[in-house]
Amino acid sequence: MTRAKLDFVATDSTLTSSQKAEILKADNKDLSFAYTYWELTSAGSTSREMLVYGKAHYEFNYTTFEGWASGTVPTVFSALPVLQIKDLRPSSKSHGQEVVLAEAMVIDTFLARRFGLLGDNEWESLAIQSFYSNIHYLRERCARSTLFVAPELRKKGRDEFLNTTLVKFCEDHEHHLKANGSNGHYVGDKLSLADIHLSNIIHFFTTVQWGKMALDCFQQYESLWKVEETVKKVPAIAEWRQTDLYKGLVEKSIVFYTVYHAIPEDKP
């Protein structure tokens, strides 16, 4: 099947690379952001929460399995998420034109920079991105060991992940969070991309996937858990997580990971 494609770097596009770069220099109030992902939490949560936090002009689009199977959902790499950024400036030559971004890590980092979530200088930015990358790949390590394996191996993979991989992750991050003063943030004393991403990973593992088993692990690490407590009290994020829309995404995620990825039956 040939899937529908979004314009990314085509040389015959109506926008040159320089014009696209100029759009990205516009103020947040002069842009709109359309974020497309599955109707799940998972890898889409961090970008959604940054768009909410940044008070951006945004819309969340959701792909159905039927729509995906038809090949009509436009993407860059036959994968989600994608972010479409539209120029809203009436006087701009590119008014109404769009720039497209792909790949979760690229989109997350781009939004973090726009909304002041990448620190105050280059070193802080690099440190935040390092923590973010390590958090992001915890999800990948989880998928490799517990989801994309034969059903009869999933319980063993889960137990090894929770007892070894997750423990080592928590120990590493606890060390660095203590070094930053155990203040609920990874770098300095400001909310960052790494903080939000960790909170979403914790929320996913403890709400969607493994419940109390994951919760018991995370709560052993006081500095790490303080990040979760800090992020969930950010007014915009707290309000978003109380919406029916967000709760619906969590419920659909539980169904998806239970039905399609067969969470081990002995989950409490």
Average pLDDT of the segment spanning 107-129: 98
CATH (residue range 17-114): 3.40.30.10
CATH class of 122-259: mainly alpha
Q: Which long-range contacts (CB under 8 A, 24 or more apart) does 19-23 make?
A: 19/93, 19/94, 19/97, 20/99, 22/94, 23/85, 23/87, 23/92, 23/94, 23/97, 23/99
Q: Which of 164, 166, 161, 177 is nearest to 229 (CA)?
A: 177
pLDDT digits (tens, 9 = 90+) for 81-98: 999 999 999 999 899 999
Indicate whether 80 pLDDT > 60.
Answer: yes
Q: Which of 258, 42, 41 is nearest to 151 (CA)?
A: 258
CA 28 to centroid of chain Cα atoms: 20
Q: Which of 137, 247, 255 is nearest to 197 (CA)?
A: 137
Average pLDDT of the segment spanning 245-257: 93
Average pLDDT of the segment spanning 21-36: 96
Indicate whether 13 pLDDT > 70.
Answer: no
Average pLDDT of the segment spanning 127-136: 97
Give the model's pLDDT for residue 12: 62
Indicate whether 268 pLDDT > 50.
Answer: no
**Residue extents of the structural domains in the chain:** 17-114, 122-259
d(CA 62, CA 37): 5
Strands in 57-63's sheet, in edge-to-edge order, are: 57-63, 31-38, 82-87, 98-102
Average pLDDT of the segment spanning 166-170: 97
Indicate whether 10 pLDDT > 80.
Answer: no
pLDDT-derived band of residue 146, with 50, 70 and 90 as boundaries?
confident
Q: For residue 32, what are the β-bridge partners?
A: 57, 86
Average pLDDT of the segment spanning 177-194: 98
Which residues contact residue 69 at a Cβ distance below 8 angstroms, ignoring those fewer than 6 apart? Answer: none
Task: Evaluate if pTM is beyond 0.75.
Answer: yes
Indicate whether 210 pLDDT > 60.
Answer: yes
Please name the residue ranges forming H helices in the chain. 17-24, 45-53, 65-70, 104-114, 122-142, 154-160, 166-179, 193-203, 212-218, 222-231, 235-241, 244-259
Average pLDDT of the segment spanning 5-12: 78
CA 119 to centroid of chain Cα atoms: 18
